[in-house]
């Protein structure tokens, strides 16, 4: 590491929902910045006006916010390198592109998209580069006066980098080590588009320089274009200020192979977005991790361990632990398949780990959305503590806790009916009678009287405990049945026994 201040950027394109891979790139940037006391910058790369999606930028910020990945500088919290949207920086880039043309490292190209498509179709391995550029319409092949004329007439044109012949471009990637490319294999990428907007290649170099970025993390899919960026840093005379690169391993599809894409979510019925994403054009909503019932702590924890580990075998990390333990050397080189089952496990672990209070607001909303009225937060909290060990997703709190708020609508009759007898009816009537005399139900006391009574009636405790559970809960699940009765209270418990007795005896 050099001694300059650590400044990293996450630079998404606002073209839709942010998926897993993007969030992980943001997370690694953030962890690295915070570990070294540096700045984490959010820069919006909206240079492609055709792909711009309304609402995507706000979504990205909500997403980072939910994850606890808070930028030090962003479009809405600008620092001294504003603006942070490339569309608003449009006027900056042309100057650098022109400078490269002046220096002979770039040139104007007038070819139309149709002409290029034709070439690509007809010439195998066609590349706009040293082999073919003399035969194309550009300021290298055309006579000077014609170029001047074309420019004077405002003929649509782009500026392309002139990749040199017979050179080897190499650099040391923080994750992969030495990586080399032959310039003969690299094509003359467009730097400035006909609409005056820069392409990613120009913008990323200019902005990383201007914003004093010290370390650049991005997905491995960018590796092939690294030589273009390296050359640009050189030609622009900024070589000494170039950030150190780190190309992150890709996140792969859970099944089969390939890079995880947004479509995989719908195809496999799993979330790939952090937050729900509403597509305005199709009117469809794609459910994200939050909507599905994930805690951000679990989501972040899961993402961090996809391609990174601390070497100790520890699986559960808080954000602070991640920050202090994160290190680039421990990022793996190979892509990692997205394993949704493991993500669920992380969530279950986090639900068990956090205090009920942390869960309260989310659980309350889930229950209320299902039509349950919550009058007492203390009661809710007790319920949460009682059932949270059996929830994997936050949404599991509904089936696991609803019976604490309303009596069962249905009973698992198969579990009681076949073995139901008049003796059992008598037993429960006696239970009611006895409970009417107590001030309030206390779990241990109830358990004692319940068992004593069963013995007295010649019944096995187990034979009446299950029916009792079905009466209160509706099914064969939930915490200790006497705890449930105690929490439900005397009136409610007696009421539910009576109600169930009618059904059981029918």
Partner RNA sequence: GGCCCGUUCGUCUAGGGGUUAGGACGUUAGAUUUUCAUUCUAGAAACAGGGGUUCGAUUCCCCUACGGGCUACCA
> Which are the catalytic amino acids?
262
Q: Name residues whose C-beta falls within 8 Å of residue 246's C-beta, 6 or more positions apart in sequence.
A: 28, 173, 174, 175, 215, 216, 217, 218, 328, 331
286 phi and psi angles, rounded to 5 deg: -100, 125
Q: Single out the residue of 144, 409, 462, 502 in contact with RNA (rule: CB under 7 A).
A: 462
- Min CB(145)–RNA separation in Å: 21
Q: Does 418 bind RNA (CB under 7 A)?
A: no
Where in 24-69 does DSSP place strands (E)? Answer: 39-42
Binding range to RNA, per CB under 7 A, among 155-163, 235-243, 371-379, 418-426: 155-163
Q: Single out the residue of 325, 424, 469, 496 in contact with RNA (rule: CB under 7 A).
A: 469
| Nearest CB to RNA, comparing residues 3 and 131 | 131
Is the torsion defined by CA of 406, 410, 413, 414 positive or negative?
negative
- How far is Cα 254 from Cα 206, in angstroms, rounded to an integer? 37
- How far is Cα 68 from Cα 81, in angstroms, rounded to an integer? 23
Cβ-based burial of 180 (10 A; exposed 0-12, middle 13-18, buried ≥19)? exposed
114-133 mask for RNA (x: CB under 7 A)? --x---x----x-xx-----
- Min CB(414)–RNA separation in Å: 12
Where in 214-297 does DSSP place strands (E)? Answer: 215-219, 244-248, 251-252, 277-279, 284-286
Q: Single out the residue of 190, 275, 292, 383 in contact with RNA (rule: CB under 7 A).
A: 190
Q: Does 352 bind RNA (CB under 7 A)?
A: yes
* Total binding residues toward RNA, as defined by CB under 7 A: 84
| Nearest CB to RNA, comparing residues 376 and 397 | 397
Q: Does 389 bind RNA (CB under 7 A)?
A: yes
Which residues, numbered 52-91, are part of the site for RNA (CB under 7 A)?
A: none
- Min CB(37)–RNA separation in Å: 26
Which residues, numbered 196-235, are part of the site for RNA (CB under 7 A)?
A: 197, 199-200, 220-225
Phi-psi bin for 136: left (phi > 0), alpha (psi -120 to 50), beta?
beta
| Nearest CB to RNA, comparing residues 436 and 476 | 476
Which residues, numbered 271-310, are part of the site for RNA (CB under 7 A)?
A: 305-307, 309
477-496 mask for RNA (x: CB under 7 A)? xxxxx---------------
Q: Does 337 bind RNA (CB under 7 A)?
A: yes
Place of tokens 């449930």: 484
CA distances from 139 to 107, 112, 160, 209, 292 (A): 6, 14, 10, 28, 55
Q: Single out the residue of 134, 341, 422, 439 in contact with RNA (rule: CB under 7 A).
A: 341
Binding range to RNA, per CB under 7 A, among 207-215, 266-274, 311-319, 493-501: 311-319
Are the beta carbons of 65 and 71 closer than 8 angstroms? no
- How far is Cα 134 from Cα 145, in angstroms, rounded to an integer? 17
Q: Which of 118, 152, 150 is nearest to 135 (CA)?
A: 118
Which residues, numbered 2-61, are part of the site for RNA (CB under 7 A)?
A: 11-13, 15, 45, 47-48, 51
- Min CB(412)–RNA separation in Å: 9
- Min CB(504)–RNA separation in Å: 17
- Min CB(70)–RNA separation in Å: 21
- How far is Cα 330 from Cα 312, in angstroms, rounded to an integer? 11
| Nearest CB to RNA, comparing residues 4 and 165 | 165
| Nearest CB to RNA, comparing residues 215 and 218 | 218
| Nearest CB to RNA, comparing residues 377 and 423 | 423
- Min CB(193)–RNA separation in Å: 4
317-336 mask for RNA (x: CB under 7 A)? -------------x-xxxxx
| Nearest CB to RNA, comparing residues 26 and 377 | 26
Q: For residue 179, what is the DSSP state? A: E
HEC letters along 110-129:
CCCHHHHHHHHHHCCCCCCC
Q: Single out the residue of 99, 212, 360, 390 in contact with RNA (rule: CB under 7 A).
A: 390
| Nearest CB to RNA, comparing residues 179 and 432 | 179
Is the torsion defined by CA of 217, 262, 70, 341 positive or negative?
negative
Spacing of C-alpha 11 from chain mean position: 15
């Amino acid at each position: 590491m050099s001694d300059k201040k650590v400044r990293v950027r996450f630079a998404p394109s606002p073209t839709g929902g942010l998926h897993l891979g993007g969030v992980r790139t943001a997370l690694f940037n953030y962890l690295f910045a915070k570990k070294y006391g540096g700045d984490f910058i959010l820069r919006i790369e909206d240079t492609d006006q055709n792909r711009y999606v309304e609402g995507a930028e706000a979504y990205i910020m909500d997403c980072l916010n939910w994850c606890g990945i808070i930028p030090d500088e962003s479009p809405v919290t600008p620092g001294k390198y504003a603006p942070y949207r490339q569309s608003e920086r449009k006027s900056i880039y042309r100057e650098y592109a022109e400078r490269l043309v002046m220096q002979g490292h770039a040139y104007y190209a007038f070819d139309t998209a149709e002409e290029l498509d034709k070439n690509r179709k007809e010439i195998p391995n066609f590349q706009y580069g040293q082999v073919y550029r003399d035969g194309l319409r550009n300021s290298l092949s055309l006579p000077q006066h014609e170029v001047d004329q074309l420019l004077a007439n405002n003929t649509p044109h782009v500026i392309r980098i002139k990749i040199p012949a017979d050179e080897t471009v190499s650099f040391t990637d923080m994750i992969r080590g030495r990586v080399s490319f032959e310039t003969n294999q690299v094509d003359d990428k467009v730097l400035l588009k006909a609409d005056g907007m820069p392409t990613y290649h120009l913008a990323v170099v200019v902005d990383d320089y201007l914003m004093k970025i010290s370390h650049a993390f991005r997905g491995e899919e960018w590796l092939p274009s690294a030589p273009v960026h390296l050359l640009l840093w050189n030609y622009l005379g900024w070589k000494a200020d170039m950030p150190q690169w780190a190309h992150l391993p890709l996140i792969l599809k859970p099944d089969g192979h390939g890079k995880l894409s947004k479509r995989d979510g719908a195809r496999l019925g799993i979330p790939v977005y952090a937050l729900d994403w509403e597509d305005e054009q199709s009117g469809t909503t794609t459910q994200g991790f939050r909507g599905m019932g994930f805690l951000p702590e679990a989501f972040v924890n899961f993402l961090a361990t996809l391609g990174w580990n601390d070497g100790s075998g520890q699986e559960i990390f808080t954000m602070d632990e991640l920050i202090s333990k994160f290190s680039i050397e421990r990022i793996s080189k190979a892509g990692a398949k997205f394993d949704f089952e493991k993500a669920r496990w992380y969530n279950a672990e986090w639900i068990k780990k956090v205090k009920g209070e942390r869960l309260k607001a989310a659980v309350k909303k889930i229950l209320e959305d299902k039509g349950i009225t919550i009058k007492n937060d203390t009661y809710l909290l007790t319920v949460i503590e009682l059932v949270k060990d059996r929830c994997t997703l936050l949404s599991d709190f509904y089936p696991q806790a609803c019976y604490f708020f309303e009596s069962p609508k249905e009973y698992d009759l198969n579990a009681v009916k076949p073995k139901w007898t008049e003796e059992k009816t008598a037993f429960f009537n006696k239970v009611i009678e006895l409970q009417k005399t107590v001030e309030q139900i206390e779990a241990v006391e109830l358990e004692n009287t319940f068992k004593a009574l069963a013995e007295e009636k010649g019944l096995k405790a187990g034979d009446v405990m299950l029916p009792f559970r079905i009466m209160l809960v509706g099914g064969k699940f939930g915490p200790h049945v006497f705890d449930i009765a105690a929490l439900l209270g005397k009136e409610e418990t007696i009421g539910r026994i009576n109600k169930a007795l009618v059904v059981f005896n029918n």
